[in-house]
Structure 1
Amino acid sequence: MKLLCLSNGHGEDAIAVRILQRLQQHPNAPKLAALPIVGEGQAYTDLGIPIIAPTRKMPSGGFIYMDGRHFWRDIRSGLLQLLWWQFRAVQGWKQQGGSVLAVGDIVPLLFAWLSGSPYAFVGTAKSEYYLRDETGPLVRKSRMQRWEGWSGSDYLPWERWLMSRKRCKAVFPRDKLTTETLLKWSIPAFDMGNPMMDDLESETAKVAFYAGDAEKQEQERSLVITLLPGSRAPEAYANWQQIVQAVTGVMDAFARKGVLFLGAIAPTLSLDSLRETLEAQGWSWQSPQQSESHLPISDPTASVFTQRKCTLILTQRAFADCLQQGDFAIAMAGTATEQFVGLGKPAISIPGKGPQFTPAFAEAQTRLLGPSLILVEQPAEVAKTIQSLLRDPDRLQMIAENGLLRMGKPGAAQRIADCLIEKLLA
């Protein structure tokens, strides 16, 4: 058995790798190969999975939410030639008798269909939650927004056509609501959950003991806020500027309590620029000898900064710790924001300038994640939003339930892998 995995983006690569890891561990493990249509596919290389065609990092970083300017920058960087090479490689896969797993949006799905091989699809980009929730259609503000979903689903007719072909053996939507909708068109859709929620266990998670003074301890502990600037440079550095402005407002609002900020920084980013921004805002770096004894995360190499009663930690190794320990997130990211919300916690977003985290992306993400994601216009509004949420325990409970509903339970990658063995690779 041979399986080629197609994906188109950093987040999609990460989801694909989770599934492929489970396939590698299966008693009847297929021979795996990969083709990242966008980016260089480092996640596959780290897993020892060969890449079958040339790859290149494009200026836009992906196909979703691009405007014409970013698209033409990709064209000038050789996008069309790259796609031709990749298309030829995918066609050659059929001659080897292999199957295809597409992860992402219509681009890898179309490649999978064009390959002529049996295929399956993990749909990461679309969800019915963009259009409706369990109670009915969402209120849309503009005429263009009201046109979205004109065909009865967030997936357009030509996407549904690709998913309903005989060679398409399985489709794995990102949530139950989308699965139920696709089944209306006789698409082989399976509700297996969302692999984004896998592998998020924290190495420093604390066991909860219900002591007599537990309520007092909870009131006295520092508020923990996770900072998610995104993973793409240089956009993430611009996002960090806005996040640090919001951090200053939070410090002012909780001056008496103290706050712990956990910056979850992608390994692809340089910390130098982030440190410069912090120091310009009055943060003081602590030497490892000063901070090592009380680091609350599992990363001895983390950079620790202090200001007033607050501590800010930058880490590129303890991503799960940052998600698990945070009470709130200031988030200008894609996948990381969804993962934080999936843990039942509220995230607060500020629109950026793109190319990914634009106002349009941020608005769409609030529809996808519902009440768990609060969009504010300016960094100064973040502190007031946190204060409002802390005064409303009923709203926090609703957010906790909503996160689980929209993102699903852990274990999706294993469930998808088992289904692929049965439906696609048998």
Structure 2
Amino acid sequence: MMRLLCLSNGHGEDMIAVRILQELQKHPNAPELAALPLVGEGRAYSQLGIPIVGTVQTMPSGGFIYMEGRQLMRDLRGGLLQLTWSQFKAVRRWSKKGGVILAVGDIVPLLFAGLSGAPYTFVGTAKSEYYVRDEAGELPNRSWGETWSGSVYYPWERWLMSRRRCKAVFPRDKLTTETLQKWSIPAFDLGNPMMDGIAPEHPAPVFYETNAELKEMQRSLIVTLLPGSRVPEAYNNWQKIVQASDGFLDTFTERTLLFLGAIAPALSLDVLRETLQGYGWCEQSLTAMSLNLHFEDENASAFTKKNATLILTQNDYNLCLLKGDCAIAMAGTATEQFVGLGKPAIAIPGIGPQYNPIFAEAQTRLLGPSLILVEQPGKVASTVQQLLRDPDWLQLIADNGSQRMGQPGAAKRIAECLMERFEGFKATDPLDKSPE
């Protein structure tokens, strides 16, 4: 039986890795699985019953050391170097027993895999060519430091991807795949696992009625609210989002409004409630409302103000993404998933450490016209109003989201490709032990 160790470096990367591992578990020749989260404690693996090899520890930065130098210093004082060395030794010990490695994330798990001595594959979640170019060519105002090597992936990263022991690379989009293939890297365009498990596999057919436009105007405009998951940053983001939501009540006076707050379990609803009440929102009983939406979350909270209803839920994430017509987004993964559904997201730069102006600007390059950046919360509602009056703009956003984020089912396609690339390999095989 093949043995596979999964390396990842962040909560979002853990979730992507777990989707692939779940598909591997369903395979007729399912490998023996193990994991080592290089950032955080890897609860997603534990919940799936996958054993964790080596030391895990949550650092003060939460994994956002690349955002600012202060975060790196805090992590160094918190034992980052000792943790990294301990984890690398665990990977080397594991590889000596035979097996293969699946690295998910950025240069860190890729480097660990490259230095392990074991055959490996890489799922690149952090980088995309869209950061520096699109299908028409290089983006304007990009610095020489971003474009000098001909790819968003630097030569040393491409070197690790082109080694004989690297059996497959799975970039996050087609543009990045085609770019890496120019260097004879075994890159496969199989989609982005980030989009798996959100939309139903067999959606109900859509029937267009003669009075569809009238019905569209009569129904509620649904706005998804994505404040992010990091404490205390998400609370600061929530202040801006609630402020932006208030602008809708003044802009869309003749239409009912429904705001769906997709709240991470780590956040305190009490803090969010206080903010809402400070802006004049009144808490109501959700059961007494007829919203035509089925909430799984028994603890979901409802608030009303003028012509609007706002729901806070920590257990209906997919519902919030699927039902929203647009989003006010100050998040990483959640924003990308919403855009991948073909919908527009409006972003407001926060104070960080994650969702700061630098991150927000980079995210607009990654997601293109689907993510609209506004400087002030008061400008969000008028931007949405302009969007709804421009069907060509909305169609461009719908096509762009699918193109940049791919179709659901990527985890299964990647798992099947992994098994093909490692076909015949068992833990005792001395595969590709030749020096490089």
Residue 118 of structure 2 is matched in structure 1 by 117
Which residue identity does 1:40 align to in structure 2? E
Residue 88 of structure 1 is matched in structure 2 by 89
Q: Report if the CA contact (8 A) 2:8-2:109 is conserved.
A: yes
Aligned in 2, Cα 1:249/1:296: closer, same or farther, shift over 3 Å? farther
Which residue identity does 1:51 align to in structure 2? I
Q: What is the rounded CA distance, in whole Å, between the counterparts of 1:172 and 1:297 in structure 2? A: 35
Q: What is the rounded CA distance, in whole Å, between the counterparts of 2:250 and 2:363 in structure 1? A: 28
Residue 230 of structure 1 is matched in structure 2 by 228
Q: How does 1:238-249 map to 2 (within 5 A)?
A: 238-249=236-247
Residue 377 of structure 2 is matched in structure 1 by 379
Which residue identity does 1:103 align to in structure 2? V
Q: How does 1:308-327 map to 2 (within 5 A)?
A: 308-327=306-325
Which residue identity does 1:375 align to in structure 2? L
Q: What is the rounded CA distance, in whole Å, between the counterparts of 1:293 and 1:383 in structure 2? A: 22
Residue 132 of structure 1 is matched in structure 2 by 133
1:155-179 deviation digits (Å, cap 9, x = unpaired): 0011001111111100000000000
Q: Report if the CA contact (8 A) 2:35-2:45 is conserved.
A: yes
Between the two proteins, what is the percent identity of the paired residues?
Answer: 68
Q: Does 1:287 align with 2:270?
A: no
What's the secondary structure of 2:38's corresponding residue?
A: strand
Aligned in 2, Cα 1:151/1:366: closer, same or farther, shift over 3 Å? same
Residue 180 of structure 2 is matched in structure 1 by 182
Q: Does 1:50 align with 2:48?
A: no
Residue 432 of structure 2 is matched in structure 1 by none
* Structure 2 unmatched ranges of 5 or more: 425-436
- Structure 1 residue 402: Cα displacement: 0.5
Residue 67 of structure 1 is matched in structure 2 by 68
Aligned in 2, Cα 1:392/1:146: closer, same or farther, shift over 3 Å? farther
1:367-406 deviation digits (Å, cap 9, x = unpaired): 0100000011111111111011111110110010001110
Residue 33 of structure 2 is matched in structure 1 by 32
Q: 1:392 aligns with which of 375, 390, 393?
A: 390
Q: Report if the CA contact (8 A) 2:262-2:314 is conserved.
A: yes
What's the secondary structure of 2:310's corresponding residue?
A: strand
Q: What is the rounded CA distance, in whole Å, between the counterparts of 1:197 and 1:19 in structure 2? A: 12
Residue 403 of structure 1 is matched in structure 2 by 401
Q: What is the rounded CA distance, in whole Å, between the counterparts of 2:56 and 2:278 in structure 1? A: 38
Q: Report if the CA contact (8 A) 2:66-2:72 is conserved.
A: no
Residue 13 of structure 1 is matched in structure 2 by 14
Aligned in 2, Cα 1:265/1:207: closer, same or farther, shift over 3 Å? farther
Q: What is the rounded CA distance, in whole Å, between the counterparts of 2:36 and 2:268 in structure 1? A: 26
Q: What is the rounded CA distance, in whole Å, between the counterparts of 2:398 and 2:300 in structure 1? A: 29
Q: What is the rounded CA distance, in whole Å, between the counterparts of 1:289 and 1:397 in structure 2? A: 36
Q: What is the rounded CA distance, in whole Å, between the counterparts of 1:229 and 1:308 in structure 2? A: 23
Q: How does 1:268-307 map to 2 (within 5 A)?
A: 268-291=266-289, 295-307=293-305
- Structure 1 residue 255: Cα displacement: 2.2
Q: What is the rounded CA distance, in whole Å, between the counterparts of 1:165 and 1:207 in structure 2? A: 46
Residue 150 of structure 2 is matched in structure 1 by 152
Which is further off, 401-410 or 254-263?
A: 254-263
Q: Report if the CA contact (8 A) 2:23-2:415 is conserved.
A: yes
Which residue identity does 2:123 align to in structure 1? V
Which residue identity does 2:182 align to in structure 1? K
Q: 2:363 aligns with which of 365, 369, 381?
A: 365
Q: What is the rounded CA distance, in whole Å, between the counterparts of 2:49 and 2:111 in structure 1? A: 26
Aligned in 2, Cα 1:103/1:111: closer, same or farther, shift over 3 Å? same
Q: What is the rounded CA distance, in whole Å, between the counterparts of 2:30 and 2:164 in structure 1? A: 24
- Structure 1 residue 146: Cα displacement: 4.0
Which residue identity does 1:98 align to in structure 2? G
Residue 328 of structure 1 is matched in structure 2 by 326
Aligned in 2, Cα 1:65/1:357: closer, same or farther, shift over 3 Å? farther
Q: What is the rounded CA distance, in whole Å, between the counterparts of 1:234 and 1:416 in structure 2? A: 35
Residue 424 of structure 1 is matched in structure 2 by 422
Q: What is the rounded CA distance, in whole Å, between the counterparts of 2:103 and 2:240 in structure 1? A: 35
**Aligned residue pair count:** 422
| TM-score scaled by length of structure 2 | 0.93
Q: Report if the CA contact (8 A) 1:38-1:55 is conserved.
A: yes
Which is further off, 22-31 or 287-296?
A: 287-296
Q: What is the rounded CA distance, in whole Å, between the counterparts of 2:175 and 2:278 in structure 1? A: 46
- Structure 1 residue 47: Cα displacement: 0.8
- Structure 1 residue 421: Cα displacement: 0.5
Q: Report if the CA contact (8 A) 1:8-1:38 is conserved.
A: yes
Which residue identity does 1:155 align to in structure 2? Y
Q: What is the rounded CA distance, in whole Å, between the counterparts of 1:275 and 1:38 in structure 2? A: 31
- Structure 1 residue 118: Cα displacement: 0.6
Q: Report if the CA contact (8 A) 1:202-1:321 is conserved.
A: no
Q: What is the rounded CA distance, in whole Å, between the counterparts of 2:180 and 2:78 in structure 1? A: 36
Q: What is the rounded CA distance, in whole Å, between the counterparts of 2:44 and 2:335 in structure 1? A: 20
Which is further off, 129-138 or 213-222?
A: 213-222
Which residue identity does 1:403 align to in structure 2? G
1:281-336 deviation digits (Å, cap 9, x = unpaired): 11111134424885444433311111111011111111111111111010011111
- Alignment RMSD: 1.7
* Structure 1 unmatched ranges of 5 or more: none
Q: What is the rounded CA distance, in whole Å, between the counterparts of 1:294 and 1:408 in structure 2? A: 29
Aligned in 2, Cα 1:246/1:296: closer, same or farther, shift over 3 Å? farther
Q: What is the rounded CA distance, in whole Å, between the counterparts of 1:126 and 1:329 in structure 2? A: 24
Q: Report if the CA contact (8 A) 1:262-1:312 is conserved.
A: yes
- Structure 1 residue 140: Cα displacement: 1.0
Q: What is the rounded CA distance, in whole Å, between the counterparts of 2:214 and 2:352 in structure 1? A: 43
